[in-house]
């Protein structure tokens, strides 16, 4: 039997990069996966790749910052596959600036996509968690074991250590760690573990050198995404492994917190960063 057989996993930002790699790993372990992406086409591509490997998946396209997104996302897992056992908050992007150049709009955008969206998803998940915990507590009288459920939040070494001219992004990712630890305490009695993985430089479209063509549209605004060559070169120089991580490297670290082997680990942060945070 596969380690996640019978589980339902929901992953935001899973149409590309580390999120897509994670969705494939979860499916390979037996989980049914709800694949979210801002755009429908990448989400459908990940679903098709999972299906080609014999797995089960549903696409759920949409902006994680949209009011009502969280409730609809949870409902897709519950109605589509019968549950919502594993949640991974991975969606996001980087909109860089130093403190003097950061506008209120820029600050709010980083908090909304990285921190507020994760909070809303947690809030939407809570009623289902409480209901399942009560039902399983009643079953325990007959010897049944409570089912372990998991949330993994994707933070960054920018959140654990700060980063040059990433004011809004670093603050949001640091806030996500506080949310992780608070939820771990609140949900622990329900048998839910909540952990975070802080990524270093992971090679995706969001961390490539900025060009005029590297952009995404969020909330009707088009943003250039990526890093300046100066920031990328600095990250490489500070990384003991002297390379960026692959999406598979990143997904492997997240998968650990989704598996039964981590059932007694909660409120923790792993830095998947090639050693840059040492």
Question: Which active-site residues does the annotation give?
Answer: 169
Contacts of 242 (CB under 8 A, 6+ apart): 236, 274
221 has which bridge partners?
Answer: 218
Handedness of CA 249, 191, 123, 127 (dihedral sign): positive
* Cβ partners under 8 Å of residue 206, min gap 6: 17, 93, 94, 225, 226
Distance, CA of 162 to CA of 168 (rounded, Å): 10
- Tell which residue, 27, 76, 13, 90, has the closest CA to residue 56: 27
CB atoms within 10 A of CB 141: 7
Tokens 């759920």 locate to: 60
CB atoms within 10 A of CB 260: 12
Cα(234)–Cα(138) distance, rounded to whole angstroms? Answer: 55
| Backbone torsions φ then ψ of 152, nearest 5 degrees | -125, 125
């Amino acid at each position: 039997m596969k380690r996640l057989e019978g589980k339902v996993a929901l992953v935001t930002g899973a149409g590309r990069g580390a999120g897509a790699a994670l969705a494939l790993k979860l499916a390979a372990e037996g989980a049914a996966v709800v694949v979210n992406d801002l755009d429908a086409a990448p989400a459908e591509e990940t679903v098709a790749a999972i299906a080609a490997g014999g797995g089960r998946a549903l696409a759920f396209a949409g902006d994680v910052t949209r009011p009502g997104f969280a409730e609809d996302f949870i409902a897709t897992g519950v109605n589509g596959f019968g549950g919502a056992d594993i949640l991974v908050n991975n969606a996001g992007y980087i909109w860089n600036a130093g403190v003097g150049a950061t506008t209120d709009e820029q600050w709010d955008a980083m908090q909304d996509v990285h921190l507020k969206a994760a909070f809303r998803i947690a809030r939407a998940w809570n009623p289902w968690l409480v209901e399942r915990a009560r039902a399983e507590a009643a079953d325990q009288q007959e010897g049944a074991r409570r089912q372990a459920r998991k949330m993994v939040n994707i933070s960054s070494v920018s959140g654990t250590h700060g980063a040059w001219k990433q004011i809004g992004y670093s603050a949001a990712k640091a806030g996500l760690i506080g949310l992780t630890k608070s939820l771990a305490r609140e949900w622990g009695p329900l048998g839910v573990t909540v952990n975070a993985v802080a990524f270093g430089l992971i090679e995706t479209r969001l961390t490539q050198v900025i060009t005029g063509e590297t952009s995404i549209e969020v909330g009707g605004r088009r943003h250039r995404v990526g890093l300046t060559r100066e920031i990328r070169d600095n990250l490489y120089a500070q990384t003991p492994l002297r390379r960026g991580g692959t999406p598979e490297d990143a997904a492997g670290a997240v998968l650990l917190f989704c598996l039964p082997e981590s059932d007694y680990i909660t409120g923790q942060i792993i830095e998947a960063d090639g050693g840059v945070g040492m």
